Structure 1
Amino acid sequence: MRLHGIGIGNKELFSLAQALHHNGYEISGSDEHIPEIRRTEMEEQGWEAGPDGWFPERITSDLDGVILGAGTGPENPELLSAKEKGIKVYSCSGFLYEYSRYKTRVVIAGNYGRTSIASVIMQVMDYHDKGLDYVIESGPEDLKNRVCLTNDNEFILITGDESPSSGAEPSPKFHNYLPNIALLSGIATDTTEDPSEEERLAKYRVFVDSIVKGGIAVYNEEDGEVKAIVEASENPIRKHPYRLPEYEESNGEILLETPEGAMPLNISDKQMLFHLAGAKWICQHMGIDEDDFYEALAVFAG
């Protein structure tokens, strides 16, 4: 499959293109300015980098599609060329849905804790040698291996972001995924007087309603807005609340209450306890039972 990335200097698009290239796709890319470190990496791996700038003539009719970086606007000359030639146009999130159409899509959403929850799930799955595709949309800028895509793994884990899909597609990224399993960590803010507050909440209502029928919503019931949105949804899905688990502190150590007794944790932030509770539910829906989750948690690196 031949694809072209418009705005390849964008970290999200670059990581996606890199994973697709490793998976056998033929990828080219362009941008107004491609950072030298990324250009070097592209050339070392056999990508077609090309000079800086936009070149509509690079959008040829034999392309199977173009993927837009987050900053690509509707008047981009390469995007206009693709539309004129009838070439399929995707945002990164839109392409990920198409790629994972026959996988079980697990999306972690909310305005905090997404990467932390995903890291727990990834480490538990890895501990038990369970294959997992993943896409970490946000996180530290120097985070490596943001994207792993295969043809074989049943599950794909995505941290769902409410930011626009691209400059040419203003709808939120996480509206494109249509998850089979979703987690809402929390969306409460201190800006309840913000005139855009209702618009923000509406995005999450659409997200919950976008879960496939018969799917699963895991949600933090101690966040009032999350609880209200999930429980009010008429989408025919299963709803599983979670809350802060029982724990105690001893000599500066956090001990999590489990069916087998108190388990010392290698964490210092109590907020992480919420994330562990949500991750446990998700792992159970991905085939990891409670005992196996705690076994992996015992060596969790934090």
Structure 2
Amino acid sequence: MKRYHFIAIGGAVMHNLALALVEKGYQVTGSDDEIYEPSRTRLQQAGILPETYGWFPDKITSDLDGIILGMHARIDNPELVKAQELGIPVYSFPEFIYNQSQDKKRVVIAGSHGKTSITSTILHVLKDQNVDFDYLVGAQIEGFDLMVKLSDAPVIIIEGDEYLTSPLDRTPKFFHYKHDILLVSGIAWDHFNVFPDFDDYKNQFSQLMDLTPKDGELTYCEADPLVKIAGENAKISAKKTPYLAHPAVIQDGKTFLETNKGLLPIHIFGEHNLQNLQGAMNICLALGISEEQFYQSIQSFKGAAKRQELLVARGDAALYRDFAHAPSKLKATVSAVKAQFPERKLIAVQELHTYSSLNKAFLPNYADAMEAADVAVVYLDPHAVALKKLELMDEETLRSGFKRPDLKLFTDSSSLKEFLLTQDYGNTNLLLMSSGSYDNMDLEPIKAKFN
């Protein structure tokens, strides 16, 4: 029986990988200094929740087959130091995924935005068509128990993140998967804390494209000017397939794909999602799925969790939740909801939560990102700003950065909640966007306004 120990087991992907290895019959242990829901309950149900939070070098023994190291751990982590002293192999999770999938066809979905949605779309279609495959995706998807699956399947679909690999490896994760087929959806400056130079950030994607093998395939969104340039300049002999948004029409608040067999209703909407859908379709075609099969399966796809997720709706109003936090993601989501329901008022709320979004020097990138909203609201938590050792921006600074003179600012979640509860939602959509939780704001009373 293989034995692996996870350092920083509580992370979204890390705990899912741990659960996937338990499912394979491996013996798994782990440590972390904090574990939140839903990771905590899921690890507990699998019998691998650490008894005590913290780092314990005595857990690291020479009979381990390997250590899987999360980005949350520090380079001087006592368990990591002990593993290095004992000569135990240490893997980042991207390295481990590659180690487990060397004999598979590896499909990597990369891009500053859209990669979770595209990966989720592909997974939904393949499952619906009874294709045997493994996967790694960054969000929970309806119909899938885990975000990671490792089996004897001949192909694996991987969401390829450009963020740093581990404390020991300061290069992007997506390099480690050594793709056969690559999709790049978009390039827009993100992760300001580790890529302070935009040219360096863009270059990571160009390097990734150049790694496409001659018998592989590169598909890229030519609607994104930076991706188009990088794709066209990629120094590869592999097949290149550019794509644009799938043709569609909106009728009475519903999006229909235009196909050779007429209009096809789908649940997702927005120009950005139609680009993602076409990219996913290209990958599915490359894997042997026919157009007919793709169209058959896409009709039941409702999207990934927190990606334009409909929480509740009534006849003339709806509450949506989205993971959007980077400027390009924010603008695409706000624009999509407004375009889908142009006759409805749109109240858009953005929590500035990441290092980039809370950084005053990065703020100008948010210019016009909420232009399509009728009411634009920004929430930021002073405690989160302090933890990141950044300057707390005032309302005028934010108004200038977003180019919204009427921007509303909240720095207390109870005040934000009170504001949202006092709004009239007649013929109105509310869009909540964050990679956080508005300081654990209870959404149930807000959802009740839409019943």
Task: Calculate the TM-score normalised by the size of structure 2.
Answer: 0.62
Superposition misfits of 4+ residues, deviation over 6 angstroms: 140-144
Q: What is the Cα deviation at residue 238 of structure 1? A: 1.3
Greater radius of gyration (CA)? 2
1:300 maps to 301
2:50 aligns with 49
Structure 1 CA distance for aligned equivalents of residues 115 and 41 of structure 2: 31
Q: CA deviation at 1:189?
A: 5.1
The whole-number CA distance in structure 2 between the counterparts of 1:111 and 1:283 is: 21
Deviates more, 1:107-116 or 1:140-149: 140-149
Match for residue 185 of structure 1? 185
Paired residues of 1:27 and 1:48 also in contact (CA < 8 A)? no
Distance in 2, Cα, partners of 1:46 & 1:267: 37
Aligned mates of 2:40, 2:269 — CA distance in 1: 39
Q: State the AA in 2 paired with 1:185.
A: S
2:166 aligned partner: 166
| Cα distance in 1 for residues equivalent to 2:80 and 2:197 | 30
Aligned partner of 2:386 in structure 1 is none
The letter of the residue matching 2:150 is T
Taking the aligned partners of 1:41 and 1:26, their CA distance within structure 2 comes to 16
1:43, distance to aligned residue in structure 2 (A): 4.5
1: distance between equivalents of 2:230 and 2:15?
34
Query: 1:215: how far off?
Result: 1.0
For the structure 1 residues 143 and 82, does the alpha-carbon distance in structure 2 shift closer, same or farther, using more than 3 Å as the test? farther
Q: Summarize the alignment of residues 237-248 of structure 1 with structure 2, pairs less than 5 Å apart.
A: 237-248=238-249
What whole-Å deviation, never above 9, does each CA across 1:3-45 have from its counterpart, x for those lacking one? 1001112222111111111111111101223458755543542
Which deviates more, 146-155 or 63-72?
146-155
Alignment-derived partner of residue 136 in structure 2:
135
The reply to whether residue 95 of structure 1 matches residue 119 of structure 2 is no
3-state SS in 2 of match to 1:87: coil
Cα drift, residue 132 of structure 1: 2.2
- Is contact 2:121–2:277 with CA below 8 Å preserved after alignment? yes
* Cα pair distance change 1:127/1:169, threshold 3 Å: same
The answer to whether the 8 A contact 1:188-1:224 is kept is no
Residue 265 of structure 1 aligns with an amino acid whose one-letter code is I
**1:282-293 correspondence to structure 2 within 5 Å:** 282-293=283-294
Q: Secondary structure at the match of 2:177?
A: coil
Distance apart, 1:274 and its partner CA: 0.7
Query: Cα RMSD between the aligned structures?
Result: 2.6
Give the AA of the match of 1:122. Answer: L
Could you tell which deviates more after superposition, 142-151 or 113-122? 142-151
Counterparts of 1:249-260 in structure 2 under 5 Å? 249-260=250-261
In 2: Cα distance, 1:195 partner to 1:54 partner:
31
Residue deviations 1:104-145, cap 9 Å, x none? Answer: 1111111111111122111111211112211113x4799974
- Work out whether 1:23 is the aligned partner of 2:24: yes
For the residue of structure 2 that corresponds to 1:299, the secondary structure is: coil
The code of the aligned residue for 2:244 comes to: R
Give the conservation status (yes or no) of the 8 Å contact 1:5–1:17. yes
1:185: how far off?
Answer: 0.7
SS of the residue corresponding to residue 134 of structure 1 reads strand
Query: Is the 1:12–1:69 contact (alpha carbons within 8 Å) kept by the matching residues of 2?
Result: no
TM-score (norm 1): 0.90
Deviations 1:140-195 (A, max 9, x none): 7999744232322122111111111122221111111111111111114599xx96
Structure 1 position 219 matched with structure 2 position 220: yes
Q: 1:66 to 1:296 in 2, by over 3 A?
A: same
Q: Aligned ranges for residues 68-83 of structure 1 at < 5 Å?
A: 68-83=69-84
Q: How many residues of Structure 1 are paired with residues of Structure 2 in the alignment?
A: 299
**CA separation of 1:10 and 1:141: change in aligned 2, threshold 3 A:** farther
- Label 1:78 to 1:242 Cα distance change in 2 as closer, same or farther (>3 A): same
Kept in 2: contact 1:2–1:25 (CA 8 A)? yes
Identity %: 38
In 2, the alpha carbon distance for the partners of 1:282 and 1:141 equals 18
* Conservation of the 8 A alpha-carbon contact between 2:5 and 2:66: yes
- Decide which moves more: 63-72 or 33-42: 33-42
Separation (CA, whole Å) in 1 of partners of 2:262 and 2:142: 38
Unmatched 5+ residue regions in structure 2? Answer: 304-451
1:171 partner letter = T
Structure 2 residue matching 1:176: 3-state secondary structure: helix
Worse-superposed segment, 13-22 or 206-215: 206-215
AA in 2 matched with 1:174: F
Amino acid at match of 1:94: E
**Where does residue 151 of structure 1 map in the other structure?**
151
